[in-house]
């Protein structure tokens, strides 16, 4: 199993070089194909307009979105051109309204083995950056690799931390991350403050470790106390302590009403992680 179809969505021209460089590394390591979608987004939400002004406002917004898509496309093609000639890739430009963004992202993500995206929190990132990650995870049902600002150091991480809480989201992430896990020198299954009366109370992470070892994964278990206010803080510190290259975790442990767009532990982890975060739902 390998990641043969990779997709990245460009909505911020400043993020393109680093994201495409990272995606190209993963594509090369998996002998895969990289598709880049450059998305110009019409962010206007017209609540009202004066008679005769509505059409003009909409046309200006659409023209702006189209120009943005063309700028992104040019930057993406330049970034692709700087990669190895053996990279199989395609670049496409499109435009959409913010409210319709989910559909176009889901359509592309649904047929991808892996979606690679930049961290959706930066001074130049709009609301669409979070929406892209969410659409790929939920409607696209694709695994998503979210890059830190420093990008991707290696396409074959040697030390990986799995944030394990026995949940189905975490299990989905582990299964989707197997190509990375099988290549790693060490996979650390990390359990923070395990439940005293849960199904794994006698051996937290043990069954997952057994499953991964049968796949040839070099895995071990770390059980950590919750010594910091948030679980994400404990995980972030552990990732640094073991010098991990990647974190694998399930996205959205609670309902979407409680974790509005990448909220809770998911958002906390993405905001502070210094390594790529592999997520699935």
Give the C-alpha separation, 163 to 173, whole Å.
Answer: 10
Q: What is the pLDDT of residue 51?
A: 52
Q: What is the pLDDT of residue 254?
A: 46
**60-93 pLDDT tens trace:** 778 889 999 999 999 999 999 999 999 999 999 9
- Identify which of 202, 208, 200, 270 has the alpha carbon closest to the alpha carbon of residue 235: 270
Q: What is the pLDDT of residue 242?
A: 97
User: Which residues, at least 6 apart from 79, have a Cβ–Cβ distance to it below 8 Å?
Assistant: 16, 17, 20, 21
Checking if the pLDDT of 21 tops 80, the result is yes
Checking if the pLDDT of 257 tops 50, the result is no
Checking if the pLDDT of 265 tops 90, the result is no
- Token readout for 27 is 């594509």
- Given a contact cutoff of 8 angstroms between Cβ atoms, the answer to whether 191 and 223 are in contact is yes
Q: What is the mean pLDDT of the chain?
A: 89
- Token readout for 196 is 């005293």
Checking if the pLDDT of 54 tops 90, the result is no
Confirm whether pTM is higher than 0.95.
Answer: no
Max alpha carbon distance in the chain (Å)? 71
Checking if the pLDDT of 256 tops 60, the result is no
- Secondary structure of the chain in the HEC alphabet? CCCCEEEEEECCHHHHHHHHHHHHHHHHHHCCEEEEEEEEEECCCCCCCCCCCHHHHHHHHHHHHHHHHHHHHHHHHHHHHCCCCCCEEEEEEEEEEHHHHHHHHHHHHCCCCEEEEECCCCCCCCHHHHHHHHHHHCCCCCCEEEECCCCCCCCCCCEEEEECCCCHHHHHHHHHCHHHHHHCCEEEEEEECCCCCCCCCCCCCHHHHHHHHHCCCCEEEEEECCCCCCHHHHHHHHHHHCCCCEEEEECCCCCCCCCCCCCHHHHHHHHHCCCCEEEEC
- Token readout for 233 is 């803080």
Q: Which residue has the higher pLDDT, 133 or 201?
A: 133
Q: What is the pLDDT of residue 262?
A: 46
Q: What is the pLDDT of residue 201?
A: 73
Give the C-alpha separation, 23 to 83, whole Å.
Answer: 11
Domains within the chain, CATH numbers bracketed: 5-147 (3.40.50.620), 159-280 (3.40.50.620)
**106-149 pLDDT tens trace:** 999 999 999 999 999 877 777 889 899 999 999 999 999 999 99
């Amino acid at each position: 199993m390998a990641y043969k179809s990779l997709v990245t969505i460009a909505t911020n021209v400043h993020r393109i070089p680093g994201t495409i460089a990272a995606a190209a590394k993963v594509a090369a390591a998996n002998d895969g194909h990289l598709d880049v979608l450059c998305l110009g987004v019409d962010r206007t939400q017209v609540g009202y307009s004066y008679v005769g002004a509505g059409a003009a406002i909409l046309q200006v917004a659409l023209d702006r979105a189209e120009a943005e898509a063309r700028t992104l496309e040019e930057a993406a093609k330049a970034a692709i051109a700087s990669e190895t000639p053996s990279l199989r890739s395609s670049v496409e430009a499109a435009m959409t309204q913010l409210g319709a963004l989910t559909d176009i992202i889901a359509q592309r993500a649904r047929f991808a083995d892996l979606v690679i995206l930049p961290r959706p929190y930066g001074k130049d990132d709009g609301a669409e950056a979070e929406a892209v990650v969410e659409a790929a995870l939920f409607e696209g049902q694709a695994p998503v690799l979210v890059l830190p600002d420093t990008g991707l150091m290696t396409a074959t991480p040697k030390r990986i931390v799995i944030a394990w809480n026995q949940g189905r989201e975490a299990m989905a992430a582990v299964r989707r991350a197997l190509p990375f896990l099988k290549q790693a020198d060490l996979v650390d299954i990390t359990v923070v403050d395990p439940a005293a009366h849960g199904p794994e109370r006698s051996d937290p992470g043990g069954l997952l470790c057994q499953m991964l070892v049968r796949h040839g994964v070099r895995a071990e278990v770390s059980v950590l106390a919750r010594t910091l206010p948030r679980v994400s803080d404990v995980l972030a510190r552990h990732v640094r302590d073991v010098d991990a290259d990647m974190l694998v975790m399930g996205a959205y442990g609670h309902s979407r009403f409680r974790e509005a767009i990448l909220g809770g532990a998911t958002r906390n982890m993405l905001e502070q992680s210094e390594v790529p975060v592999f997520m699935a739902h």
